[in-house]
Structure 1
Amino acid sequence: MIRKSSTLPWRTRFAPERERARNAGTSRLDRYVSDGWAFGTDIGAETEPLWGTPEQTAWAAGESLMIVGPPGVGKITLAHQVILARLGVYTDVLDLPVAESRRVLYLAMDRPPQIAKALARHLGPKDEPTLRDRLRVWSGPLPTTLDKDPHLLAELAAAHQADTVVIDSLKDAVSRLTEDEAAIAYNNARQHALREGAQLLELHHQRKWTGDTPRDQRPVLDRVYGSTWFTSGAGSVLFIAGESGDPAVKVHHLKMVTGEIGPLPVIHNHQRGISYVEQTLDPLALLQASPEGLTPRELAAHLTDEPKPSRADVEKARRKLDQLAQAGHAEKAQGTAGGASRGQQATYRARRLVAVS
């Protein structure tokens, strides 16, 4: 049986909704509406990354960056370097350039004294004018959690005239990390702040893992604590793998904007708060150190520390080698077709530099 309301012309049927829209005011309803051409060409226009290159973007404008890992592996150490680079104190982090920000708002909710001590490692008298003018720190809990007030994040950024907001950490900003409803509400807050022009850097933790084999311990998005909607709404996710206090860790790029970064073997200088990439596991350095060249499977074994890397890891290694070949750093010798046991993978060799007299 067809209800009478469905037989009415659409202009009549939706008259009550239009009346409510007029009463609510057009600014709220039209604020984020643009025509299709403007949406595709303006919002979708290519922009320089906040951290990284167009080919390897760690943090893209208009999309949040999430740094994840267990306690003590250097999440804050890495985040502080990115923040200070946004303020012009550094120019790059982990060999990737960082674009400057106008002002950063740091939500220091998780143990503010420790956050302050970690930040102090980087600072000298010359940095005082910059930090007094361009860094604002909220110390302690927020008035309410961001899932309960989805407009609070954008309002905080606007109130402190900040174009970058750091959330340290998500467990202190959301009431129930494991519940989808709270995660979706937080993502609403995240997207609202991004749409208002605030760039977001989020620190978060991994879930406890009970796997028995090394493969069970490998970083994947499922190891990020809480509802899947936290990572689903993020633009980029970096995972720091290691043990608490380790000076040597590995940074994995679990969710990418453009090309994958790493895995990067990273050394933390905890005394100075500086991190750098250990070049011995750089694909080009490995290739240059292998006179006979490397196959994708051999490179994958080096990068994963596994004698039998997965097919996905082999394909990632193949893409890295192809990128080196396209950039002129390597030469590719085609393999032979065949099954898993009969075929021969392509071999890549470092291209010799020819001296110019």
Structure 2
Amino acid sequence: MWLPGESLTVVGPPSVGKSTLSHMVMWGALGLVPDVLGYPIEPMEDGGILYLAMDRPKQIKRAMARFIRANPDRREEIDAALRQRVTIWEGPLPGDITADKRLLISMCQRFGRTRIVVDSIKDVLPNASDEARAGGYNIARQEALAEGLEWVELHHNRKSGADNKEPSKLDDVYGSRWITAGAGSVLSLFGEPGDIVLRLTHLKPLGEPILPTWVEITRHSGEVKVHEQQTPESVLAAAGDSGYTAEEAAKILFGRAKGAPSKNEIQNTRNKIKRLIEVGKAEEFKPLNSPIRYRLVAKLFEGV
């Protein structure tokens, strides 16, 4: 979901847990947790994190403190990591990074940090639709990446409408195209403020996208974990002997309760099912006057 030299963008409505997810990434980078949402994260070998808490810094600090309270036996270890390897910048920046493109590079050098968390873009770009300033922001981001700094940023999606509630494409991200054009991986965390179960979708993958996943936020500890994830195997298992077409399976996998899945989502699903076929877990069949369907292979000798 995030590779060295590529930025990670997390978008979503206000107060759904974007900062909490970025804290999990931070704990992983500090070597305090082995994975995030089941994906291993490589600890930083040196340097540290410059966390730009430009909006509600006290609330962000309280959110971080949940992890310490939930791990009392590791308090000294966590406290030491925060003191030695994390700088939390509170409030507005000392300059405009859309004009001074190397401002954050200078700040990282000053504090000896190698990773930047922008919480959030709206505090750098009050008008995210301003093409010139958004372009300047993108250049500042690319300058930092070129210097070897890793970059995580939080942002908002566009206001939802009756026919477009949950973001499903990059156009659903608020503001100028430069925000997503220059981004590496873009994740959408979607739900209502205060929800503990939210939908995580990969809007801009670096390779093969992760399938939409339900994630759960444990409020007292600040932990984010997988709540429920559909897989091609679980979808075909639910279909039984009648199986599913690739389009029917894609509709479930990608959560398209209303409307048809895209051609890309259908082909993505078909490719995943074909991998199950290659290892002998699924098969395709074609009923009379019907398109190709897929089902799991029956266990002929179950229990033997």
Q: Distance in 2 between matches of 1:69 and 1:138?
A: 23
Contact kept, 8 Å, 1:284 with 1:350, in 2: the verdict is no
> What residue in structure 2 maps to residue 239 of structure 1?
188
Higher relative CO (CA 8 A, sep ≥ 6), structure 1 or 2? Answer: 2
- Larger Rg over CA atoms: 1
Letter of the 1:270 partner, please give it. R
Q: Tell me whether 1:316 sits opposite 2:265 in the alignment.
A: no
Of 19, 26, 51, the match for 1:106? 51
Contact kept, 8 Å, 2:245 with 2:293, in 1: the verdict is yes
Percent identity at matched positions? 36
Specify whether residues 97 and 343 from structure 1 end up closer, same or farther in structure 2 by C-alpha distance, changes over 3 A only: same
Q: Tell me whether 1:118 sits opposite 2:63 in the alignment.
A: yes
Letter of the 1:131 partner, please give it. L
SS at match of 2:188: strand
Contact kept, 8 Å, 2:236 with 2:294, in 1: the verdict is no
Q: Distance in 1 between matches of 2:235 and 2:225?
A: 17
Q: Tell me whether 1:302 sits opposite 2:245 in the alignment.
A: no
> What residue in structure 2 maps to residue 146 of structure 1?
97
Q: Distance in 2 between matches of 1:256 and 1:146?
A: 26
Specify whether residues 137 and 307 from structure 1 end up closer, same or farther in structure 2 by C-alpha distance, changes over 3 A only: closer
> What residue in structure 2 maps to residue 269 of structure 1?
218
Cα deviation digits, residues 186-238 of structure 1 (max 9, x gap): 111001100101000000111223x323x564432112111111000001100
> What residue in structure 2 maps to residue 89 of structure 1?
32
Contact kept, 8 Å, 2:251 with 2:261, in 1: the verdict is no
SS at match of 2:137: helix
Q: Which moved more, 1:172-181 or 1:241-250?
A: 172-181
Q: Tell me whether 1:229 sits opposite 2:143 in the alignment.
A: no
Q: Distance in 1 between matches of 2:167 and 2:31?
A: 35
SS at match of 2:67: coil
> What residue in structure 2 maps to residue 184 of structure 1?
135
Q: How many residues align?
A: 293
Q: Which runs of 5+ in 1 are unaligned?
A: 1-57
Specify whether residues 322 and 241 from structure 1 end up closer, same or farther in structure 2 by C-alpha distance, changes over 3 A only: farther
Letter of the 1:302 partner, please give it. I
SS at match of 2:162: coil
Specify whether residues 134 and 350 from structure 1 end up closer, same or farther in structure 2 by C-alpha distance, changes over 3 A only: farther
Q: Tell me whether 1:164 sits opposite 2:123 in the alignment.
A: no
Displacement, 1:346?
3.5
SS at match of 2:282: strand
TM-score by length of 2: 0.87
Runs (4+) of structure 1 exceeding 6 A deviation are 353-357
> What residue in structure 2 maps to residue 212 of structure 1?
162
Specify whether residues 309 and 154 from structure 1 end up closer, same or farther in structure 2 by C-alpha distance, changes over 3 A only: same
Q: Distance in 2 between matches of 1:319 and 1:73?
A: 32
Contact kept, 8 Å, 1:295 with 1:348, in 2: the verdict is no
